[in-house]
């Protein structure tokens, strides 16, 4: 899934597919009313999309998938809510946290509120992509690191290709 709201050209999977959806999939409700409610996926590889209407979609993620979910809401006076959650979907029986618009829930790797901090996370994601790494494949511990350092008011360490190679090797040894 690309940055921004779900690609209008992407495959649309209808209600029939939704009925056949495996129980272990995580569903994320996306709403887009320009300038009022903007929920979107910044990165992640959805297994499918169901279009409800022109302003609402549901995206489906299989277990053990990482994605970034952004929620922004405004009223006549400005921004009301701005947050980013980087989440890992879970398999049946695994523990998870509940979040609005995410069913049944997911493991929270990063949770940041407030537009200036959300923007910092988005820039961090951009830097990861700039070195050729898919943020989905980033070490989950790195997202936790980013969240902790940002809450402390400090800059997180950069995610380097060397650190990424170490993560991939560690994942091979102990999946």
Expressed in angstroms, the distance from the first to the final Cα of the chain is 25
Q: In angstroms, rounded to a whole number, what is the distance separating the alpha carbons of residues 89 and 102?
A: 10
Domain assignment of residue 41, yes or no: yes
124-171 pLDDT, tens digit each: 999 999 999 999 999 999 999 999 999 999 999 999 999 999 999 999
Domain of residue 57: give its range: 15-173
Q: How far is CA 55 from the centre of its chain?
A: 19
Domain count, the chain: 1
Query: Considering the entire predicted model, what is its pTM?
Result: 0.86
Domain assignment of residue 6, yes or no: no
**Helix count (H) and strand count (E) of the chain?**
4, 8
Residue 55 is predicted with a pLDDT of 96
- Helices 115-130 and 140-151: angle between axes, nearest 10 degrees: 140
Q: In angstroms, rounded to a whole number, what is the distance separating the alpha carbons of residues 15 and 152?
A: 45
């Amino acid at each position: 899934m690309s940055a921004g709201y779900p690609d209008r050209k992407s495959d649309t999977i209808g209600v029939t597919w939704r009925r056949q959806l495996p129980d272990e999939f995580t569903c994320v409700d996306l709403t887009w009313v320009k300038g009022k409610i903007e929920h979107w996926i910044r990165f992640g590889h959805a297994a499918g999309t169901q279009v409800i209407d022109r302003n609402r979609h549901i995206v489906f993620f299989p277990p053990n998938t990482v994605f970034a979910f952004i929620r922004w809401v405004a009223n006549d006076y400005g921004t009301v809510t701005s947050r980013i959650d980087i989440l890992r979907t879970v398999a049946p029986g695994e523990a998870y946290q509940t979040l609005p618009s995410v069913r049944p829930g997911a493991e929270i790797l990063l949770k940041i509120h407030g537009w200036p901090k959300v923007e910092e996370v988005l820039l961090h994601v951009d830097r990861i992509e700039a070195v050729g790494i898919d943020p989905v494949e980033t070490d989950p511990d790195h997202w936790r690191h980013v969240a902790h350092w940002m809450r402390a008011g400090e800059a997180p360490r950069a995610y380097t290709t060397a650190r990424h190679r170490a993560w991939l090797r560690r994942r091979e040894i102990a999946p």
